[in-house]
């Protein structure tokens, strides 16, 4: 039994999301979760699983929003220091 490329993407996405949930550092959590969600979007689109693609696209956007918020707060702290 040979796994297709899309199955490998799906498995890798699952692993990325699972690993992200073990992170203590919120930036690493968000980055890894974003990567996993992005792979799930590709996977969902390829297999025409629109709820999978849509929900993961939404979560990926939430991760980006929070990462931008974190980096803006850090740059403001550096500017005022």
| Separation of CA 48 from chain center | 19
pTM of the model: 0.89
pLDDT at 3: 79
Query: Closest Cα to residue 46, out of 16, 3, 6, 14?
Result: 6
Domain boundaries, the chain: 25-79
Q: What is the pLDDT of residues 9-68, one digit of tens each?
A: 999 999 999 999 999 999 999 999 999 999 999 999 999 999 999 999 999 999 999 999
pLDDT for 41: 97
Q: Mind listing the pLDDT tens digit for each residue in 13-25?
A: 999 999 999 999 9
């Amino acid at each position: 039994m040979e796994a297709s490329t899309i199955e490998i993407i799906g498995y890798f996405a699952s692993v990325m999301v699972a690993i992200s949930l073990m992170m203590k550092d919120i930036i690493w959590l968000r980055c890894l979760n974003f990567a996993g969600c992005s792979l799930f979007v590709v996977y969902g689109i390829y297999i025409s699983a629109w709820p999978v693609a849509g929900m993961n696209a939404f979560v990926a956007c939430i991760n980006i929003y929070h990462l931008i918020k974190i980096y803006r707060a850090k740059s403001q702290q550096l500017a005022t220091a």
